[in-house]
Amino acid sequence: MNTLINEMNTAQRPLKPLAGAAFIGMALCYITLFIIYGAILSTPADAITAEKIAYLIENKALFNLTYVLGYVLFACLLCFCVYVIGSLYQQVSPTVMAMARLFGYFWVVVLLCTGMIGISSHELLANYSPSNPAAAEVIYYARALLTESLGGGIEFIGGVWLLLLGTISWRHGLFSKPLSAFTLVKGAIGVATLFSAEPVLRDLFGITGIVWFLWIGIVMIRKPS
């Protein structure tokens, strides 16, 4: 840890507690989504496509809120955290950290795109469903394909960012060994979603995300120097 402190960019140290707060904010975004989807929104599994579209339109405002919280706001907080971590620890392992920052920013862009696609597709569904059900079905499936591929099902980009960050942390002591190991495990889960469509991996990535964001957020707030 002493080596790490000596390597830090002193000018960026005041941003560390703010990044910690942002990490905790991301955890709260995840928790809110789990509550909304677990307790409020529940599309019947045996519903036909038209019924799913009708349910989505009926609850459009709430679905839009989930995309704002889970993708747009989350991405903005993540962008700040990627910048702060990259600035603080860029001298520790310049090449690997540069790659980590790239994947972190890629993840931000993908999340923003997913959120905006989700919100705009809801508006299109509301407009086309009454007059052109066939077009509404095309929009529905296109929405599902894009959002699942970009950020709703495959978490490869975020997984790579976490793997790189976990690797640097493990080798250079950015964080404790347990947190570094947990970062590597979470990253591996994210990468695994590229090779398996099992919902359990996606859910596990989200659940471990709550723990990881809270954990790293608390660490950065408690040790701002």
3-state secondary structure 66-95: HHHHHHHHHHHHHHHHHHHHHHHCCCCCHH
Q: Are 224 and 12 spatial neighbours (Cβ–Cβ below 8 Å)?
A: no
In this prediction, residue 216 carries a pLDDT of 95
- Alpha carbons 23 and 80: distance in angstroms, whole number: 9
pLDDT in tens, 87-139: 888 888 889 999 999 999 999 999 999 999 999 999 899 888 888 889 999 99
pLDDT in tens, 166-200: 999 999 888 899 999 999 999 999 999 888 877 88
**Percent of the chain residues topping a pLDDT of 70:** 94
117 is written with which tokens? Answer: 């696609």
pLDDT in tens, 140-151: 999 988 888 887
Among candidate residues 176, 187, 181, 186, the one with its CA nearest the CA of residue 222: 176
Among candidate residues 87, 72, 73, 65, the one with its CA nearest the CA of residue 8: 87
67 is written with which tokens? Answer: 């995309």
pLDDT in tens, 6-38: 445 565 677 889 999 999 999 999 999 989 988
Among candidate residues 163, 225, 170, the one with its CA nearest the CA of residue 194: 163
- The predicted model scores a pTM of 0.89
- Alpha carbons 98 and 114: distance in angstroms, whole number: 24
